Chain A
Amino acid sequence: MLEAVNVRYEYHGGKVALDGVDLQVREGEVVALMGSNGAGKTTLMKVLVGLLRPKSGKVVLDGSEISELSSKEVARRIGYVPQIADSLFFLESVREEMRYALRNFGIGDADHRVEFLLERFGLSELRDRSPFSLSGGQKKRLSIAVVLAWDPKYVLLDEPTLGQDKSGREAIAWTIESLRREGRGVVVATHDVEFVSELDPQVTLLSSGRVLASGQAYEVLSDEKLMKSANLLPPQSVIISKQLTRLGIRTTHRVNELVSSIATLMRCKEFGDKHR
């Protein structure tokens, strides 16, 4: 388990970015860290991976405090994909970028995995290109693939869907799902409510450096008051189901259940039209 316990962090100049934050990620669990811009998501991720040292509180990785582990040991087990991928790359080609960390961690014989990940993230065609010539979305996908290459036990993704088109989003959703199935722990920092509502993870809602709520995605995302105080818009499915409820139709906000009840209603209407 990767765990933040009562973490407080202040930036130079006294800005309190995190205050008394708790977060737990178990193996095989996906946690969505949600909150509006400036809520403290990125700061918490950097604390979790040991880039920022909390002013108080601690981060515990599988029973040992990360301040007592070397940065290499932490990095081997926690893969962090930063929000901005610009300062990440420095090698000649996309493929070399993929292999770089493998060499540092002494992992051999991973060519197959590298090719698989490149394929998965739609980068195989670009494998010999310089990473500096990639577009923003491609760089972001490469930064995720690079981290998955060494197969860390926990994966932290900071705003992974930012600037991604449909297939990019699908690749990322698929990746998170398969990490969960493989028993990895995943933290996704995002304010993309639609993306989260598709994943159905545990949600921790952050606002001004404090945890407002945590729970199953649908509980949190459908709580209008909570979402409002976190300055987030509920997902479309929730808005639709709320309006249907107001019309006296009882339904859920799970997309597939919502679809099937709407489909039933439409069929009834069709049937009625035909037999009028």
Chain B
Amino acid sequence: MATSIADLLRYREIESPLIRLDPRVKLLISIYLFTSTLIFDRPPLLSAIVSTAVLLTVGLTLHSIEASRRLLRTIRALSFFLAFVVLLNVLGFVTQGLNPLTLEFVAITSSQLLRFVAAIVSFSFFLLTVSPEALAATLRSMRLPHDYVFAMTAAVRFAPLFLEEIQEVIDSQRLRGVDYSTRNPVKRLRNYVRAFVPVVINALKRSFEMAEALEVKCYGAVRNRTSFYVLRLRKSDVMVLTATTAVFASLVTLRLFL
């Protein structure tokens, strides 16, 4: 589980014409997609159509089997939350004195599930298609101070490592006879707490090592640093930006008059 969630957060080189877009455009598209799934909460049919459109957009953009497979894995990893959504809906229906075994319930619940998945996917779209360097460039172009940008990109880079390490620690404890398949919730919790200790200690250690590495590379020696990687909007970026903004604007208008 930890590894499949780690997979969701990790950028990998994917070849596709749309991937070469400016990261700022991609960020905007990601926000458009995410917002669209949020504002179309009713009626179920319209919400489902929008969510499907969002999913299709992301799917077509990723344009690769490997990327789509990773998305599917992510969704599988989220199945626990999806089950939770269904459960909440059933409870909601029952407490309002409604019968959950109706077409209405199915329509509402499935449109919600679809929305949930679309929201997650549209959010991870940005992370999947933007490298940590491009993310840094995006944040810098928003005039964020370099120290913060650096801290954020480092965090993005290390998050999957962190999750992988949790898996490693769990594995090594299993090899020393810890029973992770126990049904006893207290024992289970204690196992996970135990696994957490070395991960946190290693993370701290790594942060000190990183600080040393930064010193060695003279981090912060120059106040006004220049960037090797400067973002410039190209013609194709402007075109995509205009088109998507137009679509998004009409969607918002549509929602306002609904």
Contacts and interface: CB of A to CB of B under 8 A. Distances in A.
Interface of A: 12-13, 49, 51, 70-72, 75-76, 79-80, 82, 86-90, 100-101, 104-105, 132, 146, 150
Instruction: Tell me the dominant secondary structure on chain A's binding face.
Output: loop
Contacts of A86: 198, 202
Please indicate which of the listed interface residues A12, A100, A132 has the most CB atoms of chain B within 10 Å of its own CB: A12
B198 A150 contact: no
A13 B12 CA distance: 10
B244 to A, nearest CB: 30
Contacts of A49: 175
Contacts of B7: 12
B202 A100 contact: no
B177 A87 contact: no
A150 B171 contact: no
Contacts, number: 53
A49 to B, nearest CB: 7
14 contacts: A12-B7, A49-B175, A71-B174, A71-B179, A72-B174, A72-B179, A76-B177, A82-B172, A87-B165, A87-B169, A87-B199, A90-B197, A90-B198, A132-B201
B181 A70 contact: yes
B168 interface: yes
Given A71-B175, A104-B179, 13 more contacts: A12-B7, A13-B12, A51-B171, A71-B179, A72-B174, A76-B177, A87-B199, A88-B198, A90-B169, A90-B194, A100-B176, A101-B177, A104-B178
B147 to A, nearest CB: 28
Given A86-B202, A87-B199, A87-B202, A146 B165 contact: no
A71 B181 contact: yes
Contacts of B194: 90
B20 to A, nearest CB: 21
Contacts of B172: 82, 87-88
A88 B195 CA distance: 9
Instruction: Tell me the dominant secondary structure on chain B's binding face.
Output: helix
Interface in B62-100: 66
B168 A101 contact: no
B180 interface: yes
Contacts of B202: 86-87
Contact of A104 (B168, B169, B176, B195): B176
A13 B194 CA distance: 31
Contacts of B181: 70-71
Please indicate which of the listed interface residues B172, B175, B177 has the most CB atoms of chain A within 10 Å of its own CB: B175
Please indicate which of the listed interface residues B169, B177, B179, B194 has the most CB atoms of chain A within 10 Å of its own CB: B177
Given A13-B12, A88-B172, A150 B177 contact: yes
A75 B177 contact: yes
B198 A75 contact: no
A13 B174 contact: no
Given A86-B202, A89-B198, A90-B197, A80 B175 contact: yes
| CB-based closest 10 A-B pairs | A104-B177, A101-B176, A90-B197, A90-B198, A87-B169, A105-B177, A87-B168, A75-B175, A71-B174, A88-B172
A48 to B, nearest CB: 12
B165 A75 contact: no
Interface string B186-216: 0000000011011101100000000000000
A75 B175 CA distance: 5
A75 B178 CA distance: 9
A242 to B, nearest CB: 41
B66 A13 contact: yes
A75 to B, nearest CB: 5
Contacts of A90: 169, 194-195, 197-198
A89 B181 CA distance: 21
Nearest to B197: A90
B177 A72 contact: yes
